[in-house]
Structure 1
Amino acid sequence: MNILYCGDIHIAQGLVLSVISLKNHVKEPLHIYVLTMSLTLNDQSYQPIDKQTISVIQTIVQEKNPKSTVEAIDISELFLNEMPHMNMSTRFTPYCMLRLYADKLDLPDKILYLDTDVLCRRSPLEFYNQDMEHYELAGVLDHYGKWFFHEKPFRFDYMNSGVLLLNLEMIRKTRLFERCREYCSTHQMFMPDQSAINKLVTYKKLFPRKYNEQRKLQCDTVFQHFTTSFRAFPIVHTVSIKPWNRQGMHDVLHLHEYDNLYTEYDRFIMNRI
C-alpha cells in the first residue's frame, strides 16, 4: 500500500501517530512517501521533516512488515520554480499545497494521500483496492463545505482533501495537478489546494463518510479526520482538537478510542532518546 504525506518539521507528532494507526490495520507492506521542503517566507523559516522522524517511522512500519519502506522527498526546488504566488500567506501553510507536485515525482501511480491529522481505525484495503482506471481521484464529501460549495447546481460534490486516493497516471494525462498549481498561482483562495482540486477535477469517485469521518466517530469509521468543527452549546463556537493533543482528545472530545496509539508512540519515541 502506497501512502503520501506532506509537511514540515511541525507535523512530526501527527505523522508518527497516523503511521502507527495505519500499521495497526494493514498487514501488507506500507510504502510511505513524505513530501517536504525548506522555505523562508515573511521572515519565517520552515524546516523540512527531520531524519530522526523518518527513522522512527521506518522502525514502526518495519516492525510490522520488514518489506515496508519510508522515503522523505525534498521538493524545495520544484516548489520555488512553480510557486503558488497568490496563496503564500493564507491561514494554511504553503506545505498544504505540496501534494499538487506529486505528478512531477517518481511515485507509484496509485497512492493514498492522508493529512497528518487523520487516524486509521479499520482496514482501509476496501477503499484502497478500488478500480481507479478511469478516475483521477477518489474521496469523501466535505462535512461543511458540501452545503456551501457546488461545482454543479443542486448537487453535493465538494470533497474534503484530507483523504484522497490518487491515480497519478490519470492525473498526468488530464494535467489536473498542473492546472491546480497554475490556478493557485493566479487565484487567492481560503483553502487553496482543496478549492483548486474541487474546481478542476473532472473524473472523481465519491465514497461514504466512513472513509473520511470529519464530524464524530461512528461504529464503521475507517479514517477519522480531526478537522475544525462547530458546536452549538452553550454558544456557537469552533472546536479544533488534533490527535497529538492528548488532553483535548480526552477532556474536550471525550475520546479514548486511540489511547493505544499514545502508548505505542511513547514506546517508539522513548527508544530513540
Structure 2
Amino acid sequence: MKTINIMHAADENYATQLCVAINSIVEHNSPETHINFYIIDKNLSSKTKSTISVITQELHSVEYITLDFDLCKDFPVRNHINETSYYRIIATKTLREKGLDRVLYLDVDILAQVDLTPLFECDLEGAVVGGIPDPVEENHLARLDVPLELAEQNKYINSGILLIDLNRWEEEQINEQIINFLDKKPHLVKFHDQDGLNAVVTGKVKLLNPRWNQQTAHSNHPDKVKHPAIIHFTTHEKPWHASLHHPYADLYHEYLARVLEKVATAHRDAIHVVSAVNPPFIKTLSVLYRSLLEHNGSDAHIILHVLMDHLSTSDRQELEQTIAPFNAELNFIDVDESKLVNCVESARILKLAYYRILIPELIPEAHRAIYLDCDVLCKTDISELWNIDLEGKPLAAVEDAGFHLRLEAMGIDFESQKYFNSGILVMDLDKWREESITDQVLDFIKNNPEKLKFHDQDALNAVLHDNWKELPQRWNAQTNVIVNRITPLCPIRKKDYIDARKNPKLIHFCGHIKPWHKETNHPYAVEYEQYVSKIGENSLSAQP
C-alpha cells in the first residue's frame, strides 16, 4: 500500500469547495494508495468536518492542523485572495515536525480527474518544489526583482498546486525568505503568497506537466489540455457563481451533487439528538455532549441539533470545541417562535422549553430523533436508545417520578393515568407528521392555558396520553429517583426504581437539586464536575 500526503487550506467560506475537491480526489484514487489529508483548520465547522469524514470514510486519514495564524495578519490581501492563501507557506514547518518529507498542496477550487499518486511520486530532481507555470504571469518574474538572467531562464508558477520537498524547503529557509520578501517589498506584490513564493524559489523549481494544473486561462484557450488531470478554477470565473460561465461548470456541479447525496445517505443512517439551549446553559449542554460522545461505543455518526435561543458566537464555538475530537456534527437551528405565541411561561420554564414540540418541522430530513434536556448526563451508548422498538407509537418516554395525577387534573379522558417526563424523548418524526401531533399540542396550549401547570410537558401528555411507549426509569433517572425521595404508586415498580439508582443510563438533573450548586447532595455531582473539567473548566461557578 502506497501513502501520499495532501494538504489543503480553507476557512468556512470555502467549505463546500473543500469537500468537493476532496471527494474528486477520493473518487479517482487508486485502491492501492492511502491518503493522509492534512487540512489547515481556520474555524471549520463540525458540519464541514463531518462531511469530510463521510467522504473519506475509513479508507483515508484526515488530520486538522492549526497554525500561528497571526503570522499572516499583516500580509497583503485583496478581493477573493485572503490570508488563507498564506497558510500553505507557514504550514510547511508544522508538517516537517510531523516527520513528513513531501506534501502535495492543492487549492480547494480544484477537481481531480485522475489518481494523484503519480503526481505525488514525481521526481523533483533536487528542486524545492514542483509546479506549473501560470498562463497569465509565466514570463513576469522580472517584476519581482528577480535577477534578469534568472527571470529569462525560468517561469512564474501558479501556487495553487505545489509538490513540496519539505526537507529542501527547510534547508533553503524558504519560509523565512518569503516572509522577509513580503515584509520588505510589499509594493511589488500583486498576487500575494504566489509572488512571494516565486520571488524566492525561482531557479529551484521542477516544471511539471501542465495537465496537473489546468487553469481557467488554459480552459478557455484553443490549445488547452484535452484530458486535464486536475482542473483548477483560477481567477474570478468560478463554476459556483451562477452569473458566470465556466467550461467545467457542469462537471463541478456533478461532483457537488455526489457530495450532497453521500451526506444525505449518512444523515439517514445517523443518530439525531436534539436539545434546546440558551446562553446560561451552554456549559451544561457541553457536559451532556461530552458524556454522550465518550460513550459512543458503536462509533455511530451522531448529529447534534441545537435549537438556539439567542446564542452568541462564543457560545457556538464552545460547543464546537467540545465535540471536535468525536465523530459528530453540530447543526445550529434558529427557531421561529411565531407558532409559540400562546405558550405559557414562568420564571423557571421559558418559551425555550416548547421548542421540542417543533422538532418534526425543524429537522425535516430526519425520521427519528432523541430529545434530551441540557441537564442530562449520559452513561451509556445512546445507540441502544436510538434502536429501541417504538411499537407503532409516536413517542417513547419515562414516567415522571412525582406527578401521577396530572391527566385527571387537566380533565383528560384517559385509559391509563401514566404521565411521562418530557426531558428525554424518543420521537418517531414521521408519525408525528402523519398525525399532525405538533398542531394538536399547539392547539391544546392555545385553548387550555389555565391547565398548563407544567407547561409543555402537560400539553404533550394531554395529547399523547395512552399513545406512548413507556421506557424503564434508567433511561431518565430523575433526581427524585436517584436520591430515593419518592416511592412509585405501584409496588411492582419498585424494582424499576432500584435499577435506575444502581444502573442509570441517562441521569436527568431535573428539579431543584443541581450538581453545579455549591450545596448539593446529588450522588452524581462529582462525576458531573469531572466532565466540566474535561471541557476546560475547573469549577462549576459558571453554571446557572
Match of 1:69 among 61, 64, 67: 61
Shift of 1:218: 3.2
Q: Does 1:90 pair with 2:78?
A: yes
SS at match of 1:19: helix
Give the unaligned 5+ runs of structure 1.
Answer: 38-47, 229-239
Cα distance in 2 for partners of 1:259, 1:133 equals: 38
Deviates more, 1:211-220 or 1:97-106: 211-220
**CA distances 1:120-148 after superposition (whole Å, capped 9, x unpaired):** 01222222111236221101000101133
Q: Counterpart in 2 of 1:36?
A: 41
- The 5 Å alignment of 1:123-138 reads 123-132=115-124, 134-138=126-130
Equivalent pair of 2:75/2:83 in contact (CA under 8 Å): no
Change (3 A) 1:20 1:244: farther
Deviation at 1:187, TM superposition (A): 2.8
Specify whether residues 153 and 184 from structure 1 end up closer, same or farther in structure 2 by C-alpha distance, changes over 3 A only: closer
Gap change, CA 1:248 and 1:206, over 3 Å in 2: farther
Residues 186 and 84 of structure 1: CA distance in aligned 2, closer, same or farther (over 3 Å): farther
Relative to structure 1, the CA distance from residue 182 to residue 7 in structure 2 (aligned partners, 3 Å threshold; closer, same or farther) is farther
* Counterpart secondary structure, 2:119: helix
The match for 1:113 among 87, 105, 126 is 105
Equivalent of 2:256, from 250, 254, 262? 262
Query: What TM-score do you get using the length of structure 2 for normalisation?
Result: 0.42
Change (3 A) 1:252 1:160: closer
Q: Which amino acid aligns with 2:213?
A: N
**C-alpha spacing 1:86/1:102, structure 2 compared with 1 (3 Å):** closer
Cα distance, 1:190 vs. partner?
1.8
Percent identity of the aligned residues?
Answer: 23
Question: Structure 1 residues 25-34 or 176-185, which shifts more?
Answer: 176-185
CA distance in 2, matches of 1:253, 1:117: 14
Look up the match of 1:233: none
| Deviation at residue 170 of structure 1 after TM alignment | 1.1
2 CA distance for matches of 1:210 and 1:93?
27
Aligned to 2:211: 210
Cα distance change, pair 172–84 in 1 and its aligned pair in 2 (3 A): farther
* Cα distance in 2 between the residues matched to 1:53 and 1:255: 22
In structure 2, the residue matched to 1:102 is 91
TM-aligned CA distance change 1:219 to 1:55, over 3 Å? same
Distance 1:252 1:126, change over 3 A: closer
Equivalent in the alignment of 1:26: 29
**Which residue number in structure 1 is paired with residue 54 of structure 2?**
59
Task: Give the AA of the match of 1:97.
Answer: Y
The one-letter code of the counterpart of 1:241 is E
Relative to 1, partners in 2 of residues 1:153 and 1:49: Cα closer, same or farther, differing over 3 Å?
same
The aligned residue for residue 196 of structure 2 is: 196
Contact 1:117 1:243 in 2 (8 A): no
Query: Is the contact made by 2:139 and 2:152 (CA closer than 8 Å) also made in structure 1?
Result: no
Q: Any idea what SS the aligned residue of 1:195 has?
A: helix
What does 1:169-248 align with in structure 2 at a 5 Å threshold?
A: 169-188=167-186, 189-201=189-201, 202-214=203-215, 215-216=218-219, 218-228=225-235, 240-245=236-241, 247=242
Paired amino acid for 2:45: D
Output one character per residue of 1:10-52: Cα deviation in whole Å (capped at 9) or x when no partner. Answer: 1101100000110111122221111133xxxxxxxxxx11222
Aligned with 1:257: secondary structure?
helix
Aligned-partner Cα distance in 1 for 2:256–2:72? 37
**What is the CA–CA distance in structure 2 between the aligned matches of 1:93 and 1:32, rounded to whole Å?**
22
| 1:243 CA drift (Å) | 4.0
Between structure 1 and structure 2, the one with the greater Rg is: 2
Q: Deviations over 1:217-243 (max 9, x none)?
A: 632210111112xxxxxxxxxxx3324
Runs of at least 5 residues in structure 2 that lack an aligned partner in the other structure: 268-364, 366-544
Query: How many Å separate the matches in 1 of 2:248 and 2:9?
Result: 28
1:110–1:166: 8 Å Cα contact kept in structure 2? yes
Quote how far apart the aligned CAs of 1:253 are: 3.0
Q: Distance in 2 between matches of 1:244 and 1:176?
A: 34
TM-score normalised to the size of structure 1?
0.80
- Which amino acid is the alignment partner of residue 165 of structure 1? L
Q: What amino acid is the match of 1:171?
A: W
C-alpha RMSD of the superposition: 2.2
Query: Contact (CA 8 Å) 2:111, 2:232: kept in 1 or not?
Result: yes
Give the conservation status (yes or no) of the 8 Å contact 1:14–1:243. Answer: no
CA shift at 1:180, angstroms? 1.0
One-letter identity of the residue aligned with 2:90? Y
Aligned match for 2:136, one of 141, 144, 149: 144
| Greater RCO (CA < 8 Å, at least 6 residues apart) | 1
Query: 1:206 is matched by which residue type in structure 2?
Result: L
Name the count of aligned residue pairs: 243
Aligned counterparts of 2:61 and 2:173: Cα–Cα separation in 1: 28
Name whichever of 142-151 and 218-227 sits farther off: 142-151
